[in-house]
Structure 1
Amino acid sequence: MELLDRLQRQLDQLDEAQLLRRRRVVATPCAPEMLVDGRRLLAFCSNDYLGLANHPEVVEALAEGARVHGAGSGASHLINGHSRAHVALEERFADWLSAHIPCARALTFSTGYMANMGLLTALGGPEAELFSEELNHASLIDGARLSRSAVRVYPHGDIDALAGLLAQSRAAVKIVVTDGVFSMDGDIAPLPAMLQLCERHGALLVVDDAHGFGVLGARGRGVLSHFGLRSPHLVYVGTLGKAAGVAGAFVAAHDTVIEWLAQRSRQYIFTTASPPALAHALMKSLDLIEGEEGEQRRLHLRALIAQVKQELCGTRWRLLDSDTAIQPVIVGSNGEVQRVAAALQEQGLWVGAIRPPTVPPGSARLRITLSAAHTAQQAGRLTSALRALDSAVPQEAP
């Protein structure tokens, strides 16, 4: 078939550009040490920032949730799939965010991707203008494209550029959209200045806090708590498959915004509700996040971050300025980053090699992600290996 031939040629081109991705098969629970394709590896590529994905209390809560609520929900939230477990979880999130969003209410989604798509397509439209951060996650980019809104992209972290775009806008609905913590750079959006602009121009500020929820702020309540923000202009998206260790996502905003999503978000209305057992397990995860154990895990994670930054200082590869669990090491070319990742794997270390289009051309990187489940010795094993490779792996000519 001509179509199959065409697809194969394109796959061959990706292979030549060293951009083919492949899945690895994991035979153990998410943890620092994993059995990957039959080999034991020490992983630094998970988003399980607090080490809760295999926490015994969360695992038992998931099993208990299945015993109480069954394996599936059976239908969408608006038919008969809206369980009391979902209600309890949404009320918990609304309470968490009430200090930052007046009249806060929350709505759960099956995935973070669906939450961002459903939020932007419901709020956007021909009368809206979206102002999207240059390094936003693909789910925000796709949601903006499908929203039928005019979309303006502003440079990464450039408040002056954003201010200029907002001042020029004559749209009836203005929505600024940003990651809270940027997934490939690890830095945090300048939200206080962004919120001031949004309040001045009557815009909503949508914050996808996938990589801050559970980790940043008082009791792990995220980037809004980290900055001490409060405003009805805020719309907050939290992801539950990363620091929370389970699955799903939620949107928290003013009650009116949430009711609009419940009535108009196609990604919420036209999909089967996630299993109530997941919501049941997440209640235990939230107990751990906001309790003493969660605080101890965040303290340990911060110590690991400081250790890795200090021990990788001085290598030829550029460590980006990040104080979060995401510690990117810029290597440069696709070929070199794959060679470094392969050399690490030979030593039993698994670090993600991130290449375009996920990151800009020429900025291929090792995306080191740290977890509170890692020990200082394990982090030291990684940094020692990288420092040794700094001199052992030939540097490509520019």
Structure 2
Amino acid sequence: MKQLPNILKAKLESRIQNNALRQLPFGNSLVDFASNDYLGFSKSESIFKETHKYLLDNNYTQNGATGSRLLSGNHQLYLDAEAHIAQFHQSESALIFNSGYDANVGFFSSVPQKGDLILYDELCHASIRDGIQLSYAKSYKFNHNDFEDLERLILSNPNTTIYIATESVFSMDGDAPNLEELVDLSEKHNCYLVLDEAHALGVFGDKGQGLVQEFGFEDKIFARIMTFGKGLGCHGAAILGSLELKQYLVNFARSFIYTTGLSPHSVATILVAYKHLEIEKENIEQLIQNIIHFNQQKNLLGLKPIFVRSKSSIQSVIIPGNEKVKSIAKQIQEKGFDVKAILSPTVPAGQERLRFCLHAFNSKEEISNVLQLLSEIVFKS
């Protein structure tokens, strides 16, 4: 077997030396504070059975899409699911992509044009940044959730078509921008606002519709990216927007055009999971109560100063240094709680952290116990 070039070996060795080498983990039986399965839908037996029944009742016995949606892969189930998603999110249209990564790369690489400008939050997800890198538009980042800095950049580029890219809930910090202020700013300067709702779907809104609908801003956002691998517990994503935007993406988004579509089973799972959002309000309410309990407990234990402020399912405690944060994560895991360390370069050096993901199925006792354990370890060290 031909070996890696020396330059690639050196890059791996550098990761090892910095205690930052990524490795694929195995499953475990620990209490889950690590996954993005906020509502427990990925393990829902009823969703699994209803998906199977839906496929049989509608005579879907095909295992794969057979090709891209523009060739042979555009089965009727796609159209039914997209119509349901658009109605659920009060959008003119929805276009399903194979993943949230594909959706962001497809959008940002094709929609902003040469001469346009993309202004993106410095903590935007890698998929947004990778899409921007593929675009012919210019791009600048603005300080995290700092709309004075954003407006400064807008004013520095007059007579320019500007796209503003950010997230409604940030994947590493768990915090959220002031959407009302952001919408007002985008309207004031006639910008196109693009919002990734990956970590808001299933969490915010009375039916888990996301933060945009919780605030009633559906008609003020140019595009929303809804990702299904978190709150819906399955796979795929959709871009919400106007019918014209959907038509444009079908014609120009390369990550949509040049890939085999999702299987009927995958799309049916998305559709059934969406229907469960409408009937599982108690599940969503339990998640919100767990978030409130987590914040109350960390305050009681004196942990608030080392946590990033968050009212979402993502709660991050900053523990600088890859070696130190990995050591603390290991101690917590040895006590039965699956809490993951997030290392640089995934986050900037000095911003290494433990990332707690909260779920509807976590008990208040589990939350209290893991925070008590964290408190004992942190204050001891």
Which TM-score band (shorter chain)?
Answer: over 0.9
Moved more, 227-236 or 370-379: 227-236
TM-score, length of structure 1 as denominator length: 0.90
Counterpart of 1:138 (choices 111, 126, 138) is 126
Name the SS for the 2:19 alignment partner: coil
Q: Is the 8 A contact 1:65 1:277 kept in 2?
A: no
Q: Is the 8 A contact 2:37 2:230 kept in 1?
A: yes
Alignment of 1:273-312 (within 5 A): 273-291=261-279, 293=280, 295-312=281-298
Q: Is the 8 A contact 2:97 2:237 kept in 1?
A: yes
Shift of 1:143: 0.6
Once residues 2 and 287 of structure 1 are traced to their aligned partners in structure 2, the CA distance between those partners, rounded to angstroms, is 50
Q: Which residue of 1 aligns with 2:22?
A: 21
Q: Which residue of 2 aligns with 1:10?
A: 11
1:174 aligns with 2:175: no
Alignment of 1:1-398 (within 5 A): 4-26=5-27, 36=28, 40-64=29-53, 67=56, 68-69=59-60, 70-98=62-90, 101=91, 104-170=92-158, 172-231=160-219, 233-291=221-279, 293=280, 295-313=281-299, 314-315=302-303, 318-392=306-380, 394=381
Once residues 96 and 373 of structure 1 are traced to their aligned partners in structure 2, the CA distance between those partners, rounded to angstroms, is 25
Task: Say how many residue pairs are matched.
Answer: 375
TM-score, length of structure 2 as denominator length: 0.94
What do the CA deviations read for 1:62-110 (whole angstroms, capped 9, x no partner)?
4345654222111111112111111111101111232xx5xx1110000
Once residues 10 and 265 of structure 1 are traced to their aligned partners in structure 2, the CA distance between those partners, rounded to angstroms, is 32
Shift of 1:333: 1.5
What do the CA deviations read for 1:173-198 (whole angstroms, capped 9, x no partner)?
31110011000111112222222222
Moved more, 131-140 or 300-309: 300-309
Amino acid at match of 1:78: L
Once residues 137 and 320 of structure 1 are traced to their aligned partners in structure 2, the CA distance between those partners, rounded to angstroms, is 17
> Where do 5+ consecutive residues of structure 1 fail to align?
27-35
* Structure 1 ranges of 4+ moved more than 4 A: none
Amino acid at match of 1:242: K
Name the SS for the 1:231 alignment partner: helix
Shift of 1:3: 5.0
> Where do 5+ consecutive residues of structure 2 fail to align?
none
Shift of 1:304: 1.2
Shift of 1:16: 1.5
Once residues 383 and 286 of structure 1 are traced to their aligned partners in structure 2, the CA distance between those partners, rounded to angstroms, is 32
Q: Is the 8 A contact 1:129 1:171 kept in 2?
A: no
Name the SS for the 1:183 alignment partner: coil
Amino acid at match of 2:197: D
Change (3 A) 1:297 1:316: closer
RMSD: 1.8
